[in-house]
Structure 1
Amino acid sequence: MKKSALEKAQNLGDWAYLAIEKHFHKTLKHESDVIKDKDPEALHQMRVGMRRLRSAITGFAPALDLPKSAQENKIGKIGHSLGELRDIDVLQEALKNRYYPNLPSKEQKTLEEAIASLNKQRHHALEQVRQTLDHQRYQKLKQSFQTWLKHPSYQEIAQMPLRQVLPDLLSPEISRFFLHPGWLLGTDVKAPEIKIAKDLEPEAVTQLLADQGEVLHSLRKEAKRVRYQMELFTDLYGPAYAGYLQDVKSIQEILGEIQDSAVLAEVLTDILDSKVKNQLPTLAEQLHQTAYQAWQQWQPLQERYLNAQTRQAFHLALLQRLDENDSPDEEG
């Protein structure tokens, strides 16, 4: 946030207000272009705005007194509709620009048919988004936020100084992230040691992801939640905090590569009514390679964050806020 915003935010309630105001207006900014289907980027930005608004409400929940129509679950339902359309856009972009040019002509023709089928699905998803944004539920949600921003209402704890309660807001999110079972995928746990299987062949990784890939997808979603929560407070922390935030972003992106490969295979299998390797063997191999390369990128981060000292240092970074009289270059 800008310095003027920092100066305005004296307590937890002030900071919550600034975050909600920012992400609510970002969401509204792209609404018209999404309805007109002008640019996929508008849909992406509106979806991100919704996600960050939801994250702000979740993170500041102890301080907020919001109307029922503006609760976190209401935003989630709207975001789900936007997400379905956005997911199709991401799939199409990957198929057209990343994979199609590298396929033999026979597979290109098959993929063209699959993309045409995706276009039909996209048309249906777009209509669903338009109906969602025209529905009374969404209109009521917007009105509720507009009213709340004019006359905000808080819980008593909102008066607490932000720097005093900030670690208490973030620590539960970080702990939930670290306790996720996805960290142990591909490891051998023999207390007190956790050994990571670094020598798995591509075929073994493919099978492991086929059997248990959902747990990594769940960890990715947890990383995304942590990232959004941490990004609310980057102006109050120093370089150590920024470094851990960057790691969380990397984890989200790397695990996203693995998940995107799996989703592409599932979608194409459904469209073709056949396993991808049967009709698109070159593409199937490319998807396996993409997932395997992401797995190799994931393992160093996995090893780092299974280390107790790294986790402890992360938690300690939450206590090392920039105080009022500290310079931005200091961590303490």
Structure 2
Amino acid sequence: MKMMKYSLGHEPKTFGDWAYLAIATHFNKILHHETEVIQDKDPEELHQMRVGMRRLRSAILGFSPALNLPQAATEKQVGKVAKILGQLRDIDVLQDILKNQYQPTLPHQEQKYLDLALTTLAKQRKKVFKKVKKLLNEATYIQLKQSFDHWLNNPTYQDIAKIAIADVLPDLLLPQVSRLMLHPGWLVGISFTEGDIEFPDGLSTKEVETLLNNQGLMLHDLRKEGKRSRYNMELFTQFYGDVYHHYLKDIKQLQSVLGDIQDSFVLMEFLDSVFEDKIEQKVSVFSSKLVENRYQKWHEWEILQRKFLNSQSRKELHLTILNPIVVESELETNHNDKKGMNEAVAL
């Protein structure tokens, strides 16, 4: 497909206009990085294309009541591509963490062991990259792009797309934010006394490790819910003020902290497979550093946990979403400089 730039062509005012703008923005991002991904010279290109895919999927889900997309351009089809790109990206992340974050800090012998792990990762990456390259040349992916191209040139919508965006913003944002706020992952490590939340104080490293081993997957799922919420909220930053942006920053931090904890466990699992469950014998200093890192990230998580379980904070977030700032002159300014959508595609 010939590279082109899709744009709305007029001031976005309706539900449908903003749906178009979101899909066009993220589809443009995907096309912009696609060629470089196939050339495989810079892992950042893969990262950016994957981000574009995930945000496109989020936009399709968030704007689904307004959209009438072709069958080949569904969020499910986009998700399949994002998943395969994600497999390659996960390997790149592990390589970067091992090589640049941990290996230089380890004793010489453990550095040599990590060289073995990095060699194994490089072999895995070669296989997965072939899979990615094949995918991006397959008919299914080409049809996906053609379907979005056709829709962006000839968009069709549901009737509700004609409604002003300000009238539906809370309805668009609150369902996803509510899923985030009701996620059971927030309750990891806490207890209740007659309905009041009791937060643990001064947990030891061993106690934190036990919690993470038992309920780490729940925190990982909370991270994914946070990511979906962040993507949705970033679509509409120009309609809200400082309070909204502060919560968005906190959700981004939540995603980062829980992501670091999850990456640590993925590293352990990978190295266990490389060293046949003898990781602590062969790289004991490295193992200790992983535990130390998780303990530090746990303390960062506790701060966010307390904030998002605070009744006043929860009420403030909901009230903020219920009251978007809709001033015509501000919308024109934000549209002209594309501030909001630039934030939406930022990392």
TM-score (norm 1): 0.95
Once the 2 structures are TM-superposed, how far is the Cα of residue 199 of structure 1 from its aligned partner? Answer: 1.3
Once the 2 structures are TM-superposed, how far is the Cα of residue 278 of structure 1 from its aligned partner? Answer: 2.2
> Which secondary structure state, in structure 2, belongs to the residue aligned with residue 194 of structure 1?
strand
Which position in structure 1 is the counterpart of 2:59?
A: 56
Once the 2 structures are TM-superposed, how far is the Cα of residue 234 of structure 1 from its aligned partner? Answer: 0.4
Where has structure 1 moved over 4 Å in runs of 4 or more?
Answer: 4-7, 325-328
Which amino acid in structure 2 is aligned with residue 276 of structure 1?
I
Whether 1:172 and 2:184 are equivalent positions in the alignment is: no
**Distance of aligned partners of 1:191 and 1:134 in 2 relative to their CA distance in 1, 3 Å threshold:** farther
Alignment of 1:206-217 (within 5 A): 206-217=209-220
- Structure 1 unmatched ranges of 5 or more: none
> Which secondary structure state, in structure 2, belongs to the residue aligned with residue 84 of structure 1?
helix
Once the 2 structures are TM-superposed, how far is the Cα of residue 215 of structure 1 from its aligned partner? Answer: 0.3
Separation of aligned partners in 1, 2:231 and 2:317: 16
Once the 2 structures are TM-superposed, how far is the Cα of residue 277 of structure 1 from its aligned partner? Answer: 1.2
Greater alpha carbon shift after TM alignment, 191-200 vs 48-57: 191-200
**Distance of aligned partners of 1:115 and 1:251 in 2 relative to their CA distance in 1, 3 Å threshold:** same
Which position in structure 2 is the counterpart of 1:111?
A: 114
Separation of aligned partners in 1, 2:330 and 2:21: 23
Once the 2 structures are TM-superposed, how far is the Cα of residue 276 of structure 1 from its aligned partner? Answer: 2.1
The 8 Å contact of residues 198 and 299 in structure 1, kept in 2 or not, is answered as no
Which position in structure 1 is the counterpart of 2:233?
A: 230
Whether 1:15 and 2:18 are equivalent positions in the alignment is: yes
The 8 Å contact of residues 180 and 226 in structure 2, kept in 1 or not, is answered as yes
Separation of aligned partners in 2, 1:232 and 1:320: 16
**Distance of aligned partners of 1:6 and 1:289 in 2 relative to their CA distance in 1, 3 Å threshold:** farther
Which position in structure 2 is the counterpart of 1:239?
A: 242
Separation of aligned partners in 1, 2:320 and 2:202: 33
Equivalent in 74, 84, 87 of residue 84 of structure 1: 87
Which position in structure 1 is the counterpart of 2:273?
A: 270
Alignment of 1:1-332 (within 5 A): 8-325=11-328
Greater alpha carbon shift after TM alignment, 6-15 vs 202-211: 6-15
Once the 2 structures are TM-superposed, how far is the Cα of residue 327 of structure 1 from its aligned partner? Answer: 6.1
Which amino acid in structure 2 is aligned with residue 248 of structure 1?
I
What is the percent sequence identity of the aligned residues? 49
Separation of aligned partners in 1, 2:329 and 2:212: 46
Which amino acid in structure 2 is aligned with residue 201 of structure 1?
S
> Which secondary structure state, in structure 2, belongs to the residue aligned with residue 273 of structure 1?
coil
Separation of aligned partners in 1, 2:233 and 2:278: 40
The 8 Å contact of residues 220 and 255 in structure 1, kept in 2 or not, is answered as yes
Once the 2 structures are TM-superposed, how far is the Cα of residue 7 of structure 1 from its aligned partner? Answer: 6.4
The 8 Å contact of residues 237 and 322 in structure 1, kept in 2 or not, is answered as yes
Once the 2 structures are TM-superposed, how far is the Cα of residue 320 of structure 1 from its aligned partner? Answer: 2.2
Separation of aligned partners in 1, 2:69 and 2:281: 53
Separation of aligned partners in 2, 1:213 and 1:276: 20
TM-score (norm 2): 0.91
